[in-house]
Amino acid sequence: MDVRVDEAGKARCAWVGEDVEYRRYHDEEWGRPLHGDRALFEKLSLEGFQAGLSWITILRKRSRFREVFERFDPDTVSNFGSDDIERLMTDAGIIRNRAKIIATIGNAQLVSQMVPGELDDFLWSFAPERPQPRPQSFADVPATTPESAAMSKALRKRGFRFVGPTTMYALMQSAGMVDDHVAGCWRAD
């Protein structure tokens, strides 16, 4: 089944399950257009941390990520050094993956060199130009698209890390560049 109906009769994408925070995220964030360099840098970073894990793991740790990464201010994070890396490696409130932490700092350095609005414009330039057909089932939702592959390639060319095509498609979904709410979900209407 591709939708799940809750106790109040609201149909949602089935991946949401019963978790209250996941429901809120699905209803209020996932698939809604997100703009702003800081917001998109946060999304890019969290999607990178999610690679190989479930999104609910990241979602449950998001508030701590925001604390320790200074609300994902690229200018601040770009100045993190070895002491910060070691501090983050001991923080059980986040994903303690050295490569992902170092990548986030490096990505922040790249973002901080951009002019305001450049990250937003750059990422959104890969959004499909016309609305895609509504997925009828999860089987219709791709893991990657030509657009996510192009975004990944362009980001890597600029020096970004943990930005593979699958991760970038997840970013496109969560930032509303594509709308993959399946048919029957209340958000698909």
DSSP, residue by residue, 72-137: G-HHHHTT--HHHHHHHHT-TTS---HHHHHHHHHHHHHHHTSPTTHHHHHHHTTS-SSPPPPPSS
| 183 in a structural domain | no
| 94 in a structural domain | yes
**What is the Cα–Cα distance from 189 to 179, expressed in whole angstroms?**
11
What is the model's pLDDT at position 50?
96
| 160 in a structural domain | yes
Q: Which amino acid, one-letter code, is at 42?
A: E
| 7 in a structural domain | yes
The three-state (H, E, C) secondary structure of 149-177, written as one string: HHHHHHHHHHCCCCCCHHHHHHHHHHCCC
Q: Which are the catalytic amino acids?
A: 25, 47, 55
| Partners of 4 in beta bridges | 12
35 is in an annotated binding site: no
| 39 in a structural domain | yes
| 33 in a structural domain | yes
The upper half-sphere exposure of residue 20, i.e. CA atoms within 13 Å in the direction of its Cβ, equals 0
| 188 in a structural domain | no
181 is in an annotated binding site: yes
CATH of the domain at 74: 1.10.340.30
What is the model's pLDDT at position 131?
77
What is the model's pLDDT at position 24?
96
Pick out the chain residues at pLDDT < 70. none
Supply the range of the domain harboring residue 137.
Answer: 3-175
| 185 in a structural domain | no
CA angle 97, 142, 19 (to 5 degrees): 60
185 is in an annotated binding site: yes
Under 8 Å between Cβ of 122 and 36: no
pTM metric for this prediction? 0.95
| Partners of 13 in beta bridges | 3
What is the model's pLDDT at position 120?
98
**What is the Cα–Cα distance from 13 to 130, expressed in whole angstroms?**
23
Count up the domains in the chain and report the number.
1
Q: What's 180's DSSP letter?
A: -
13 is in an annotated binding site: yes
**What is the Cα–Cα distance from 86 to 81, expressed in whole angstroms?**
9
